[in-house]
């Protein structure tokens, strides 16, 4: 297939591009605005691979999106481009509405016009795959069952509300216009090339440098953690086999509290890169919780695992060890971000 993928220089998007180039024969047209969180380096060998084309563009620009469809004539769309940091959405929600809602609308309209023009066989085979988050479902109490594909929507932050809106648009374009679209919702991802303001890279980098490790509240907020390369494999299986109108909830069933995550990072670093000053748990600092902090997310991925014939390859212990090792081995990458592109030291979140 020729896949038009948005946000392919972001954290999850770049993992999908790498998987497409390494593990399939598909070609990918990568549309990315190259915002603060994007990194061409994360494409690794895919950046110069003949089956990868990078188009620097904004998905909210409908005319440009129409031109991209006309020029590259994709067989499928994988829509990952999104503003995704909860703290940033609280500080400035406007860009989240613009990118996540207006951008999805523009992409849907460009895709619909293109799909309508296709010959019957190509039209039947076309897919629009929208990648979303479990945060659209709200928060779980300690004993609630995990989210599934039928969990009612209950977004709690500007970020999750904007993603919920984009999910609804995709489903509306499927039901109203027949666009062969489907949605995947995932839980928290982690792994290589994760932008330094998110929880796991922030804590890892701070711990390497001997800085304080900020933990919201008492650290009991819980997330289900999915290694990004496992998610990338699931997403590619979805675009290959996903059915129009379907929803696939993708997760790893590896729940950890934020405090457990921080302690695990400290343990791996103490083993791989000992600090003469002592165990890094000494650096943990509890800070004021953020507004509207959802308590728990977890996904029951059994339907997606069966439908897509997929299983995550990493448990949390293996995944966090690979991740911490990657940040130790790629210090120049995150030092450059902190020095040139990253201003301020935001608190990391699990979102």
Domains of the chain by residue range: 2-187+227-253+292-313
Exactly one of 32, 87, 114, 159 is catalytic; name it. Answer: 159
Exactly one of 32, 83, 87, 134 is catalytic; name it. Answer: 134
Return the pLDDT at 104: 98
Known active-site residue 275: no
Structure pTM? 0.94
pLDDT, tens digit, for every residue of 210-226? 999 999 999 999 999 99
Known active-site residue 289: no
pLDDT, tens digit, for every residue of 286-299? 999 888 788 999 99
Nearest Cα to Cα of residue 129 among 59, 80, 69, 72: 80
pLDDT at 343 > cutoff 80: no
CATH number for region 2-187+227-253+292-313:
3.40.50.720
Tell the residue number behind the tokens 């990868």, with chain if given: 52
Residue burial 123-162, b: 16+ Cβ < 10 Å; e: rest: eeebbbbbbbbbbbbbbbeeeeebbbbebeeebbbbbbbb
Residue 349: band (very low, low, confident or very high) from pLDDT cuts 50, 70, 90: very low
**Using CA atoms in the order 287, 290, 296, 297, what is the torsion angle rounded to 10 degrees?**
-120
Exactly one of 32, 83, 87, 135 is catalytic; name it. Answer: 135
pLDDT, tens digit, for every residue of 91-141? 999 999 999 999 999 999 999 999 999 999 999 999 999 999 999 999 999
Residue 341: band (very low, low, confident or very high) from pLDDT cuts 50, 70, 90: low
pLDDT, tens digit, for every residue of 138-155? 999 999 999 999 999 999
pLDDT at 346 > cutoff 50: no
pLDDT at 200 > cutoff 90: yes
Known active-site residue 297: no
């Amino acid at each position: 297939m020729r896949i038009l993928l948005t946000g392919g220089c972001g954290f999850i998007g770049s993992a999908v591009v790498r998987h497409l180039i390494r593990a399939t024969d598909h070609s990918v047209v990568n549309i990315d605005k190259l915002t603060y969180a994007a990194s061409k380096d994360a494409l690794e060998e895919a950046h110069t691979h003949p089956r990868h084309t990078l188009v620097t563009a904004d998905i909210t620009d409908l005319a440009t999106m129409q031109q991209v469809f006309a020029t590259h004539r994709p067989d499928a769309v994988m829509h990952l481009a999104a503003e995704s940091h909860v703290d940033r959405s609280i500080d400035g929600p406007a860009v989240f509405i613009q990118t996540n809602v207006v951008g999805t609308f523009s992409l849907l309209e460009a895709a619909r016009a293109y799909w309508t023009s296709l010959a019957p066989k190509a039209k039947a085979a076309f897919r629009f795959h929208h990648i979303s988050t479990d945060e659209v479902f709200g928060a779980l109490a300690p004993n609630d069952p995990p989210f599934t594909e039928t969990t009612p929507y209950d977004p709690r932050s500007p970020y999750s509300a904007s993603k919920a809106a984009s999910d609804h648009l995709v489903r509306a374009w499927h039901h109203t216009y027949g666009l062969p679209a489907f949605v995947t919702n995932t839980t928290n991802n982690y792994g290589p090339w994760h932008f330094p303001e998110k929880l796991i890279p922030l804590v890892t980098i701070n711990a390497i440098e001997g800085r304080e490790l900020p933990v919201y509240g008492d650290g009991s907020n819980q997330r289900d953690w999915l290694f990004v390369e496992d998610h990338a494999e699931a997403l590619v299986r979805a675009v290959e086999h996903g059915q129009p109108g379907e929803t696939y909830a993708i997760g790893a069933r590896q729940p950890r509290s934020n405090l457990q995550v921080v302690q695990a990072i400290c343990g791996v670093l103490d083993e791989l890169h000992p600090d003469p000053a002592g165990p890094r748990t000494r650096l943990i600092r509890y800070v004021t919780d953020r507004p509207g902090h959802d308590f728990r997310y977890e996904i029951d991925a059994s339907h997606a695992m069966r439908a897509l014939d997929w299983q995550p390859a990493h448990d949390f212990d293996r995944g966090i060890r690979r991740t911490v090792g990657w940040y130790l081995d790629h210090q120049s990458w995150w030092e450059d971000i902190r020095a040139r592109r990253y201003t301020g030291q935001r608190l990391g979140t699990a979102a």
